Amino acid sequence: MIYLDNAATSFPKPKQVIDAVAHYFNEIGGNPGRAAHAPAREAGRVIDRTRRSLANLLGNVEPSRILCTPSTTVALNLAFKGLLQAGDHVVTTSMEHNSVMRPLRGLQKLGISHSQIPCSPSGELDPSDIPPLIRPQTRLIALIHGSNVTGNLMPVSEVGKMAREHGILLLVDAAQAMGRIPIDPQESNIDLLAGPGHKGLLGPMGTGFLYVRPGLELEPLWEGGTGTYSESMEQPETWPERFESGTLNAPGLAGLAAGIAEVQKLGLEAIATHEQSLIESLAAGLSQLPGIILYGSPDKSSCTGTLSFNVQELDCSEVAHILDTAYAIAVRSGLHCAPAAHRTINTFPHGTVRASVGPYNTQEDIETLVHAVSEIIGFRSR
Ligand SMILES: Cc1ncc(COP(=O)(O)O)c(C=O)c1O
């Protein structure tokens, strides 16, 4: 099987990740922070190690400002709902995933409004479209780092500079960028960053995080036992436990530390170059075929390892189904939880075929996909 759905979750996971999860279950087993015995202490060390690895990957930010969550979606909800108050206004883009769009839609009921910057039909953001949308009540800009539909990278640093100049916070959805390109929140003026453990960082599902810049206050969304200050009925003030009530996914986080170690061993720059060259080859190969429509920025030399396309007169789900059943190639079709992005690139409501690569895909995988698509087109035109 050729797996080309790494934007959904990365596969295969490195052996070290699987070993680390198994090691946790077989050799550690304790609940982090919940007792003084050795298994619980070791479990606590596992969580600390993972937190420090994430902090290190983000340009050595303060580890206590990395809050462990089960997914990017939960991290984004924590950011929006822990930060915003009635009367606040948010600026976002038309390329966002539903994990940004739906919380913002829900928050309208609480008197929190938002404006959407329309991106170009290739899904690109012109940062000069932001200032006209800023109001005195604008508290936050929420921006996708890399599109899960087109693979385009957004001008995050430029927007960060603009946000800082206007005294507005910047929240970045790094679901597709984390582990695929270098990110430095301090350098890019990012105040909050939500990311997954299970995509580019090669960790298990059920892992993710929210980074919150030091000095920025946030309300916890869930309260309860933290294993600390057990004498108090009040939620602790200290970070990160203020935001991490309940038992964490310690086995998953053990695996995530191993995934991050693998990413660091491969090197972020090398991963980015490899994935971008695969996407460039895919775009070049597909564009030679009759009836192919490619989406996103025409320049594929800078992207998140994702490419969307359609075959004229064929439904994207049919193409994906044939690739799966006749060629054992796993791609995703449809709207990719991002209907607004598909409206932007004029592919709503049908969507696109999306191929997304990971560090272990090869040029041969890409050639096989291009060949399969050429055969599908050939059969159809007979
Ligand atoms: C851009 C983007 N944001 C958010 C998410 C949600 O991520 P998670 O599955 O970790 O909640 C995804 C998932 O594909 C995504 O692509």
Domain CATH code at residue 237: 3.40.640.10
What number does the ligand 1 atom closest to the CA of 196 have? 10
Distance, in Å, from the CA atom of 122 to the CA atom of 294, rounded to the nearest integer, reads 10
Same domain for 215 and 320, yes or no, is: no
Same domain for 69 and 163, yes or no, is: yes
Same domain for 250 and 279, yes or no, is: no
The answer, yes or no, to whether any atom of ligand 1 lies below 6 A from the CB of 103, is no
| Structural contact between residues 12 and 3, judged by C-beta atoms closer than 8 angstroms | yes
| Ligand 1 centroid distance, CA of 97 (Å) | 7
Tens of pLDDT along the chain (382 residues)?
999 999 999 999 999 999 999 999 999 999 887 778 988 999 999 999 999 999 999 999 999 999 999 999 999 999 999 999 999 999 999 999 999 999 999 999 999 999 999 999 999 999 999 999 999 999 999 999 999 999 999 999 999 999 999 999 999 999 999 999 999 999 999 999 999 999 999 999 999 999 999 999 999 999 998 888 888 899 999 999 999 999 999 999 999 999 999 999 999 999 999 999 999 999 999 999 999 999 999 988 888 999 999 999 999 999 999 999 999 999 999 999 999 999 999 999 999 999 999 999 999 999 999 999 999 999 877 6
Whole-structure pTM value: 0.97
The residue segments making up the domain with residue 211 are 15-266
Residue 379 has a pLDDT of 84
Same domain for 207 and 248, yes or no, is: yes
Angle of CA points 236, 54, 235, to nearest 5°: 10
The answer, yes or no, to whether any atom of ligand 1 lies below 6 A from the CB of 208, is yes
| 337 is an active site residue | yes
In total, how many domains does the chain have?
2
The answer, yes or no, to whether any atom of ligand 1 lies below 6 A from the CB of 150, is no
Q: Phi/psi of residue 325, each to 5°?
A: -85, -35
| Ligand 1 centroid distance, CA of 382 (Å) | 39
330: part of which helix (H) or strand (E)?
Answer: strand 329-330
How far lies 37's CA from each of 32, 34, 41, 44, 66, in Å? 10, 9, 6, 11, 25
Same domain for 293 and 351, yes or no, is: yes
Domain boundary among 244, 266, 288: 266
Same domain for 178 and 288, yes or no, is: no
| Ligand 1 centroid distance, CA of 76 (Å) | 10
Same domain for 52 and 170, yes or no, is: yes
Distance, in Å, from the CA atom of 207 to the CA atom of 84, rounded to the nearest integer, reads 24
Residue 366 has a pLDDT of 98
Residue 281 has a pLDDT of 97
H-state helical runs in the chain: 15-23, 38-57, 72-83, 98-107, 156-166, 250-266, 268-287, 316-327, 339-344, 363-380
Same domain for 217 and 276, yes or no, is: no
Domain boundary among 248, 266, 284: 266
Same domain for 320 and 173, yes or no, is: no
Domain boundary among 210, 233, 266: 266
The answer, yes or no, to whether any atom of ligand 1 lies below 6 A from the CB of 13, is no
DSSP string, 131-149: GGG--TTEEEEEEESB-TT
Same domain for 243 and 289, yes or no, is: no
Q: Which of 10, 94, 97 to mutate to test the pocket of ligand 1 (most atoms within 8 A of CB)?
A: 97
The answer, yes or no, to whether any atom of ligand 1 lies below 6 A from the CB of 153, is no
Tokens 């012109």 correspond to what residue? 126
Same domain for 195 and 137, yes or no, is: yes
Residue 345 has a pLDDT of 97
Sheet holding 306-311, edge to edge: 292-294, 306-311, 352-356, 332-334
Residue 35 has a pLDDT of 77
Distance, in Å, from the CA atom of 298 to the CA atom of 118, rounded to the nearest integer, reads 19
* CATH code of the domain in which 349 resides: 3.90.1150.10
Angle of CA points 292, 297, 299, to nearest 5°: 95
Dihedral sign computed on CA atoms, order 280, 282, 285, 290: negative
Give residues with Cβ within 8 angstroms of 91, minimum separation 6.
Answer: 114, 115, 117, 130, 133, 134, 138, 140, 141, 142, 168
Distance, in Å, from the CA atom of 320 to the CA atom of 300, rounded to the nearest integer, reads 22
Same domain for 183 and 39, yes or no, is: yes
Which DSSP state fits 169? E
Distance, in Å, from the CA atom of 100 to the CA atom of 106, rounded to the nearest integer, reads 10
